[in-house]
Amino acid sequence: MNNLLPKLIILDRDGVINYDSSSYIKSPAEWQAIPGSLEAIGMLTAAGIKVAIATNQSGIYRNLFTFRTLHSIHQKLLTEVKEVSNGEINYIAICPHGPNDLCSCRKPNPGMLHEVSQKLNIPLDSNAYFIGDSYKDIEAAEKSGCTPLAVRTGKGEATETKLLSLEKDIKIYDNLLQAITTLLKVNK
């Protein structure tokens, strides 16, 4: 890590900010923040760091929920971030496609990260971070040129096992709050 504050933190959503579900998060009622995640976003906002989300949402492709429902879920997320920590999400990129669609946005492809970079006019380099819980998140970060970090929440424990088996030197934290607290402390 360098000694500059990051310019951009991109977060995966399910398993990083909120609890994940094998049956998908299909409504605002099902969206529940992981303790400390909203506070972590508030810490980034207070430090002047742009925050974005890049999230695969194949539940749309699978007809489990609509774009309107997804918008409502994200409105709940944005409202809670603001109310709990005065935090702000500057952009949300979604991929509504299925796993077999040949799109450039679905992680592990880096399309959503490039979209965030373009929308916020911030380059993806070693001073931009992508924090995820799955190996696909790590791959998307590496393909985009930003720095990958992982958390043990969500699919994180399986991801940690894979990272160790591949001998990948990716920092992994217990949760988003620990990752952000460490990142801000190290880069002061």
> Would you tell me how many other CB atoms lie within 10 Å of the CB of residue 103?
12
Whether residue 20 lies in the annotated active site: no
| pLDDT single digits (tens) 89-113 | 999 999 999 999 999 999 999 999 9
Residue 130 lies in a domain: yes
Q: Which domain holds residue 137?
A: 8-186
What pLDDT is recorded for position 187?
Answer: 72
What pLDDT is recorded for position 4?
Answer: 81
| pLDDT single digits (tens) 133-178 | 999 999 999 999 999 999 999 999 999 999 999 999 999 999 999 9
DSSP, collapsed to helix, strand or coil, labels residue 95 as: strand
**For tokens 């997804």, what's the residue?**
70
The rounded percent of the chain whose pLDDT value lies above 90 is 95
| pLDDT single digits (tens) 41-70 | 999 999 999 999 999 999 999 999 999 999
Please tell me the total number of residues recorded for the chain in this structure.
188
The rounded percent of the chain whose pLDDT value lies above 70 is 98
Q: Is the pLDDT of residue 37 over 90?
A: yes
- Could you tell me the CATH number of the domain that includes residue 135? 3.40.50.1000
Residue 37 lies in a domain: yes
Residue 2 lies in a domain: no
Indicate the average pLDDT of the chain.
Answer: 96
49: left (phi over 0), alpha (psi -120 to 50) or beta: beta
Q: Which residue out of 14, 20, 133, 137 is catalytically annotated?
A: 14
What pLDDT is recorded for position 3?
Answer: 57
Instruction: For residue 179, give Cα distances in angstroms to 66, 105, 174.
Output: 32, 25, 8
Residue 1 lies in a domain: no
Instruction: For residue 178, give Cα distances in angstroms to 41, 52, 120.
Output: 12, 18, 25
Average pLDDT over residues 26-36: 98
User: 71 and 27 in contact (C-beta within 8 Å)?
Assistant: no
Q: Is 11 exposed, middle or buried (0-12, 13-18, 19+ CB in 10 A)?
A: buried
Instruction: For residue 45, give Cα distances in angstroms to 6, 27, 50, 165.
Output: 12, 26, 7, 35
Residue 135 lies in a domain: yes
Q: Which residue out of 12, 20, 133, 137 is catalytically annotated?
A: 12
Whether residue 12 lies in the annotated active site: yes
